[in-house]
Amino acid sequence: MKYIFELNHPKHYYQFKYIMQILQQQGHQILVLARDKDVLLNVLKEENIPYTIFGKHHKSMATKILGTFSLIKNYLAIARRYNPDIIVSKGSWYGTFTAKLLHHKSVIFIDSEVVTINNRFVVPICTRVITPQSFKLDYGKKHIRVAGIFEDCYLAPSVFQPDPTVIQRYNLQQPYAVLRFVGWQANHDVGRYGFTQQQKEKLVSTLSQYLTVYISSEKPLPQQLAQYQLPTPAALIHHVLSGANLYVGDSQTMSAEAALLGTPAIRSNSFVGPDDMSNFIMLQNQHNLLYNIADPERAIAQAQNLASNPQKELWQQRREQYYTQIGDINNQIVQILTTL
């Protein structure tokens, strides 16, 4: 069979990385379609993954709307030439719409209940919806649930082994904490927020009493925090997270990644609350791998508590218990994609 895998974010590549490898090992053909966005292309180049660009990422709402026509045009042209059996994406409107127009099957992966507008468009026209078991919404007969969450696709012990030489190679000073601050410019981030600049500075000042602090930031860091910039390439972030004693951030993805790597993790942003996403609730309430704290000041206090009372070994034990329960998510997904 022939598959298109559409990637719009580094996380998309990591999620599908081993699924694509398994499919290719089974003799299936893969075309990677990528959007020129964030550090995605850098990651693909660093990992020597052939890809085709179908368009650029636009930041303002006006340019997003105007750019949509160009993206669809490019996507249609590529899909007509390649003629895939299935288009796979993370809930992409471009992929599902193209598949519908060209009478191909489409499979979307959704793990965020809050991305309601996009899901309202893509779910009705896709062939299958795959979500984590804990996902709170129900999409009927086309809905398939899998154990665990999608970050397990690339962080399970069966596929990820931390490389301790990364810490030595980039002279990371142990013990250390990783902080992650996002840009809040995605469509689903409108009206949402994380740490303020003042709170970021307070967090760094507080944690520096106990740990070396490294910051990963979507936006350029201001002068006051520039010295804390994480020096490693984006493709090595999971090795860095695995070696950390603490993670704190307002990122969705990296919070889950740190937790699944057995690093004490704190997530703080305005998504946290009664209507929070099910994957984060599950990691906290069922597996004790993540703290979801809406109030940034409380998050800073909890970070200080974890920094002053190392709990890395406890988190590693919890990680082992988690993966013993959920099994191999990649093989579950490959089975679905090859039997549609």
Please report the pLDDT score of residue 203 as a whole number: 97
Same domain, yes or no: 141 and 172: no
Point out the domain boundary residue: 93, 111, 146.
Answer: 146
Is 153 domain-assigned?
A: no
Please report the pLDDT score of residue 71 as a whole number: 87
Query: Stretch 113-123: mean pLDDT, rounded?
Result: 82
Query: Stretch 329-340: mean pLDDT, rounded?
Result: 96
For residue 72, what is the domain's CATH number? 3.40.50.2000
Please report the pLDDT score of residue 61 as a whole number: 45
Is 331 domain-assigned?
A: no
Please report the pLDDT score of residue 309 as a whole number: 94
d(CA 5, CA 10): 13
Q: What percent of the chain has pLDDT over 90?
A: 79
Terminal C-alpha separation, the chain: 11
pLDDT greater than 90 at residue 181: yes
pLDDT greater than 80 at residue 179: yes
Q: What is the pLDDT of residues 268-279, one digit of tens each?
A: 999 999 889 999
- pLDDT class of 186 with cuts at 50, 70, 90: low
Same domain, yes or no: 80 and 13: yes
Helix (H) or strand (E) run with residue 107 in it: strand 105-109
Q: What is the pLDDT of residues 135-172, one digit of tens each?
A: 999 999 999 999 999 999 999 999 999 999 999 999 99
Please report the pLDDT score of residue 62 as a whole number: 45
Pairing of strands 246-249, 52-56: unpaired
User: At a CB cut-off of 8 Å and minimum separation 6, what does 211 contact?
Assistant: 175, 176, 177, 245, 246, 307
Same domain, yes or no: 7 and 101: yes
Point out the domain boundary residue: 83, 114, 146.
Answer: 146
Please report the pLDDT score of residue 235 as a whole number: 81
Please report the pLDDT score of residue 64 as a whole number: 53
Is 254 domain-assigned?
A: yes
d(CA 336, CA 340): 6
Task: Please answer whether residues 42 and 49 qualify as being in contact, where contact means their C-beta atoms are separated by less than 8 angstroms.
Answer: no
**In this structure, what DSSP letter does residue 126 have?**
S
30: β partners: 3
Nearest to 101 by CA among 120, 135, 119, 78: 78
Is 340 domain-assigned?
A: no
Angle between helices 253-260 and 278-285 (to 10 degrees): 30
Please report the pLDDT score of residue 137 as a whole number: 92
Same domain, yes or no: 76 and 21: yes
Point out the domain boundary residue: 116, 146, 176.
Answer: 146
The average confidence (pLDDT) of the chain is: 91
d(CA 263, CA 266): 10
Handedness of CA 89, 91, 96, 97 (dihedral sign): negative
Three-state DSSP state, 177: strand
Residue 60: both structure tokens together:
């303002």
- pLDDT class of 191 with cuts at 50, 70, 90: low
Same domain, yes or no: 123 and 218: no
pLDDT greater than 80 at residue 198: yes
Same domain, yes or no: 244 and 120: no
Least-confidence region, from 50-64, 89-103, 113-127, 253-267:
50-64
Number of domains making up the chain: 2
Domain that holds residue 295: 165-325
Q: What is the pLDDT of residues 246-291, one digit of tens each?
A: 999 999 899 999 999 999 999 999 999 988 999 999 999 999 999 9
Same domain, yes or no: 79 and 170: no
Same domain, yes or no: 123 and 191: no
Same domain, yes or no: 123 and 173: no
pLDDT greater than 50 at residue 302: yes
Is 157 domain-assigned?
A: no
Is 141 domain-assigned?
A: yes
Task: Please answer whether residues 111 and 85 qualify as being in contact, where contact means their C-beta atoms are separated by less than 8 angstroms.
Answer: no
d(CA 85, CA 340): 10
Q: What is the pLDDT of residues 85-106, one digit of tens each?
A: 999 999 999 999 999 999 999 9
Same domain, yes or no: 21 and 120: yes
CA distances from 322 to 32, 70, 125, 315, 328 (A): 31, 43, 34, 10, 12
Is 334 domain-assigned?
A: no
Please report the pLDDT score of residue 39 as a whole number: 78
- pLDDT class of 46 with cuts at 50, 70, 90: confident
Same domain, yes or no: 125 and 244: no
Is 42 domain-assigned?
A: yes
φ, ψ for residue 70, nearest 5 deg: -65, -40
User: At a CB cut-off of 8 Å and minimum separation 6, what does 240 contact?
Assistant: 166, 167, 172, 178, 214, 230, 232
Q: Max Cα separation, the chain? A: 59
d(CA 16, CA 86): 14
Same domain, yes or no: 90 and 202: no
